[in-house]
């Protein structure tokens, strides 16, 4: 799936295939885009996120069964992030669920729409309508310590101060849009779900007030605040507990697909745990061994160069008793130190919305 905004991106934009989507990885230097996101306001092309609508008499019951958090009373003024799991407790996707008057609208993570849609249809015991709306709608994001100012210039200043995970059906010009206060990076964040034909003009206007940031800068900022990135972290055979994403699961729910597997993993206490680390002369590849006192205690899950830290930042899955901050490990002959999240303090935490 290609972005509807491709014709508006700079000619030297670097694209990459993420799952089923071709997305802009970077429009310019990652360091420049990162600084815009962390210090000012960035507009994000999130068209790699699929939008799947669930409607019908049993829509809420179906959503409650397939989504790992409690969405039974999710109103049309709210959205919620959650995991969707298979029966073995493996992550199918991390979704943003929007309550709608006629059911639920699910936004996939980047490039995961095809897999999510297949899973939903396979488990549709209630006979609800499951419709891929990605051919009609797309998603634009705004994030950064001054993203609220861009919202005021583009749409309505009052929307900038919405509570987190609030949703409003509003208009931009003559176009009906779904506007949400969300965020992936720890900075002030907003999403606009718009008709695909209206997206190019909204993008044109947004980049007059904000810099464009691609997937690489976005995922770096997500990693820095320990926002899960399923495509990097949800490796085959790894439990939700090992990933450290159990906050996206509600085991007090009566039922959801994968609950038994999550409970078993939680009660057994077995498996490794994920911890952040920084340091080292180079960026290790996934699977690189992590050593403590010369002993193999785990492996690297994901690592990048952090512009904010000025060094390598990564995630490692290590023996449970070693998943703590302040420990020294060796990765590819380099010394690294484990960290407490967030690894970068977002500027938005000290910038008020005015």
Cα 90 off chain centre by: 17
CA atoms within 13 A on the CB side of 75: 5
129-132/21-26 β-pairing = unpaired
Q: Kindly calculate the radius of gyration of the chain based on its CA atoms and give it in whole angstroms.
A: 20
Helix residue ranges, H only, the chain = 30-39, 59-66, 113-122, 147-154, 199-206, 215-224, 230-233, 240-243, 259-268
Strand partners, 212: 43
Residue 11, number of CB atoms within 10 A of its CB:
4
Predicted pLDDT of residue 1: 65
Predicted pLDDT of residue 206: 97
Which pTM was predicted?
A: 0.96
Q: What are phi and psi of 257, to 5 degrees?
A: -60, 125
Helix-helix angle 147-154:199-206, to 10 degrees = 130
User: What torsion do the CA atoms of 169, 131, 185, 73 make, to the nearest 10 degrees?
Assistant: 60
pLDDT in tens, 13-63: 999 999 999 999 999 999 999 999 999 999 999 999 999 999 999 999 999
Predicted pLDDT of residue 18: 96
Contact call for residues 182 and 189 (beta carbons, < 8 A): yes
Predicted pLDDT of residue 2: 73
Strand partners, 213: 44
Predicted pLDDT of residue 231: 94
Q: What structural domains does the chain harbor?
A: 1-228 (3.30.1360.120), 230-339 (2.40.30.110)
Mark the ranges of the chain whose per-residue pLDDT is less than 50. Answer: none
Contact call for residues 57 and 247 (beta carbons, < 8 A): no
Contact call for residues 216 and 62 (beta carbons, < 8 A): no
């Amino acid at each position: 799936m290609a972005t509807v905004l491709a014709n508006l991106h700079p000619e030297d934009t670097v694209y990459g295939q993420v799952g089923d989507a071709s997305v802009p990885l970077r429009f310019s230097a990652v360091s420049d885009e990162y600084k815009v996101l962390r210090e000012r306001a960035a507009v994000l092309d999130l068209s790699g996120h699929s939008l799947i609508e669930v409607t019908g008499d049993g829509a809420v019951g179906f959503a409650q069964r397939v989504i790992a958090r409690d969405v039974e009373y999710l109103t049309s003024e709210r959205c919620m992030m959650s995991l969707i799991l298979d029966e073995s407790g493996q992550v199918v996707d991390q979704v943003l669920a929007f309550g709608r008057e006629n059911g639920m609208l699910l936004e996939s993570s980047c490039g995961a729409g095809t897999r999510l849609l297949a899973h939903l249809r396979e488990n549709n015991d209630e006979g609800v309508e499951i419709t891929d709306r990605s051919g009609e709608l797309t998603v634009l994001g705004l994030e950064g310590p001054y993203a609220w100012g861009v919202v005021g210039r583009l749409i309505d200043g009052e929307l900038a101060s919405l509570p987190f995970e609030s949703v409003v059906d509003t208009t931009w010009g003559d176009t009906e849009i779904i506007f949400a206060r969300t965020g992936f990076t720890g900075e002030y964040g907003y999403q606009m779900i718009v008709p695909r034909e209206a997206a190019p003009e909204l993008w044109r206007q947004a980049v007059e007030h904000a810099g464009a940031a691609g997937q690489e800068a976005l995922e770096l900022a997500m990693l820095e605040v320990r926002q899960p990135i399923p495509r990097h972290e949800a490796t085959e055979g790894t439990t939700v507990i090992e990933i450290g994403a159990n906050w996206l699961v509600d085991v007090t729910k009566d039922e959801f697909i994968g609950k038994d597997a999550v409970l078993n993993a939680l009660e057994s206490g077995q498996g490794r745990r994920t911890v952040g680390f920084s340091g080292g002369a180079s960026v290790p590849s996934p699977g690189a061994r992590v050593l403590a006192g010369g002993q193999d205690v785990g492996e690297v899950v994901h690592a990048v160069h952090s512009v904010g830290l000025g060094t390598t930042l990564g995630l490692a899955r290590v023996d449970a008793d070693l998943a703590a901050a302040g420990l020294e490990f060796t990765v590819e002959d380099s010394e690294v130190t484990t960290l407490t999240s967030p690894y970068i303090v977002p500027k938005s935490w000290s910038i008020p919305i005015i």
